[in-house]
Amino acid sequence: MSIKSNRLTQTEYQENFTDIHPPFETADAALVEANRCLFCYDPPCMKLCPTSINVPKFIKQIATENLKGSAHTIFSSNIMGAGCSKVCPVEKLCEGACVYNMMHETPIHIAKLQRYSTEIAMKNKWQLFERKPATGKRVAIVGAGPSGLSCAHTLSREGIDVTIYEKESKGGGLMTYGIAAYKVTPEFCEDEVNYITSIGGIDIKYNQELGKNISIEELQRNYDAVYLAFGVGLARQLDIAGEHLEGVEDAIKFIYELRNNDYSKIAIGDKVAVIGMGMTAIDAATQAKRLGASDVTLVYRRTQDEMPCTEHELNIAKLDGCKIIWLAAPKEIKGDNGKVSQLVCDVMKLGEPDASGRRSPLVSGETFTLDVDMVIKAAGQMPFESLVNSNSFENNKGKLIINDKATTNQTGIFAGGDCVNGGKEVVDAVQAGKDGAHAILKYVLGAAYVEEPKSTFNN
């Protein structure tokens, strides 16, 4: 067993990391799928979309070959509609609510249709929104992820000049740095960021980190309002012996490196254990297998009924050949010559529900050992608690506390996305950005700002 890079041929890497959800091959295929839609009067698919995309309307527009109208309908509710069509867990959102499920038929491929019209819009650089005249108001946003970009675009449409401060060298946040490469490529993420900012009035300053290169006080002095969207990113540690041996990696760092380098340069073990069962754990496990690991095992302390990932995501890991051990928790990592050689796990049993509502895992007293040469930790992410506390924000263990969907305890400072909710879906972050923008517009424009009413679907 050993950890090494360049395990596969370039052809194998390309095949392993190709688009897991390919688009419609022809316009006719999209039209056929669009015409399957029943165009429900009270659409459940729309109700389960956190950004309230008018699904029947945009599908009807595809069916009538009005692609600009379809893209506009989507982007009006979700400016990252193209990216969300690739990464959203639609099986528990819009497609999971499709009425065809009740008839035991295949639901409408909503995400695929959404991807169809939005990618055409991006490819052709259709500017579907007209920016209002400049108001003279300036807003600073910390973080160029989904929440920050959504907030920025909504503000810019209303004539607000926006400056985004981003600690990384690229925008997109989780989309760019934290999602499996076979779901969305870094190139697509860059195109999406460029498309969003093409409306004008949005300036992104890269390699600018809050608390290091910029301060809250500086932003308050120079801008009319501030929106915090710096997400989460600190990997939760296991706090067990051997955690710092060579071969133990954080899933966040592992995926980050994979997103920023050629696949052949990513070192991977022969026998890999992944700790956790969230979406990040699944992404780490499947990508480890696709990088050439011969054996990948997901270790989770609860059962399938309590897992945070969706069954669809779990099936991706299974199809890739990943193994799963339920009711197991890491107890100790052993090594030889400073390198990982074994993972010792406690066998768990379930007790009463804990604060999360899931049955809490309890140590049974039994253990087992896995021979491994790499351990990837995906036990969750923690908020930037020290950053939040150092700036006197009201918070709950590092998660910013807001009122009225976006207002912090400090005047003129708003927040949303993962830094508030602790980590949800990309689409939730997009909606939080919209909520933040509307709160900011009311704050900086006062009675002059009137939020446009939501459109209703018309057959």
DSSP secondary structure, 425-449, as one string: -HHHHHHHHHHHHHHHHHHHHGGG-
Across the chain, mean pLDDT equals: 95
Is 34:62 a contact under the CB 8 Å cutoff?
yes
- Judged against a pLDDT cut of 70, whether residue 457 lies above it is answered with no
Section 62-66 average pLDDT: 98
Residue range 216-231, pLDDT digits in tens = 999 999 999 999 999 9
Share of the chain above pLDDT 90, in %: 92
Per-residue confidence band for 456, with pLDDT thresholds at 50, 70 and 90: very low
The pLDDT value given to residue 78: 98
Higher pLDDT, 256 or 448: 256
- Judged against a pLDDT cut of 60, whether residue 459 lies above it is answered with no
Section 73-85 average pLDDT: 98
Rounded CA separation 122/126 (Å) = 6
Is 171:147 a contact under the CB 8 Å cutoff?
no
Is 344:359 a contact under the CB 8 Å cutoff?
no
Q: 225-228 and 138-142 as β-strands: parallel, antiparallel, unpaired?
A: parallel
pTM of the model: 0.94
Residue range 34-47, pLDDT digits in tens = 999 999 999 999 99
Burial 56-89 (b: 16+ CB within 10 A, else e): bbbbbbbbeeebebbbbbbbbbbbbbbbbbbbbb
227 three-class SS: strand
* Residue-level length of the chain: 459
Percent of the chain that is helix, strand, coil (3-state, to 5): 40, 20, 40
275 three-class SS: strand
Per-residue confidence band for 295, with pLDDT thresholds at 50, 70 and 90: very high
The pLDDT value given to residue 234: 80
- Judged against a pLDDT cut of 80, whether residue 394 lies above it is answered with yes
- Judged against a pLDDT cut of 60, whether residue 454 lies above it is answered with no
Phi, psi torsion values for 428, nearest 5 degrees: -65, -40
